[in-house]
Amino acid sequence: MEYRPHYSQPFTLQEAAHMDVPVITEEIGRLQNSLVHLKRTQDELQMAAKADPDPEFIKAIEENELVIGSQQERVAILKMALTERGILMGSHYDVASLPPNEPSRTITQTSSETIAGGRPDDFQSGETVDEHGVYL
């Protein structure tokens, strides 16, 4: 598959397709985590720029847009590489985050809480869960 990136990338699709699957999935996760933080920072910068249109805010917003675009493209390349390897992307490889202002719920377990077969449930005391899954 031929892919021409819009941004300069540290690897091509062909190079990514030869990476080990765990390396690809770890990099996807790292990039998605970075994107969550970049987007949050971007929102904060945009709010600050509305209150005070400082040229430094505008410059930082523009630079972040480039970094966000580049990282999103890199995630897409890595996902295409997995697809070329026969691994279909799904929610397993996507970062789940809490919706804004939605607290997580904590699940606690007492000694009497067991599932069929007498084994304790898979949740451990103090783990959190929401609609998107379990956060350890």
Sheet arrangement for strand 127-130: 105-107, 127-130, 133-135
Res 110: pLDDT = 39
Per-residue model confidence (pLDDT) at position 14: 95
Q: What 3-state class would DSSP assign to 134?
A: strand
Asked if residue 77 lies in contact with residue 92, where contact means CB atoms within 8 angstroms, the answer is no
Residues 60-119 have pLDDT tens digits of 999 999 999 999 999 999 999 999 988 887 655 554 443 444 333 333 333 343 334 444
pLDDT on residue 94:
53
Cα angle: 72, vertex 77, 81; to 5 degrees: 145
Greater model confidence, 63 or 128: 63
- Tokens 């998605």 locate to 32
Strand duo 105-107 + 133-135: pairing = unpaired
pLDDT digits (tens, 9 = 90+) for 13-66: 999 999 999 999 999 999 999 999 999 999 999 999 999 999 999 999 999 999
The count of residues in the chain is: 136
Specify which residues 129 forms β-bridges with: 105, 134
Q: Is 105 helix (H, G, I), strand (E, B) or coil?
A: strand
131: Cα within 13 Å, side-chain hemisphere: 4
Q: Would you say the pTM of this structure is higher than 0.95? A: no
Residue 102 has a pLDDT of 39
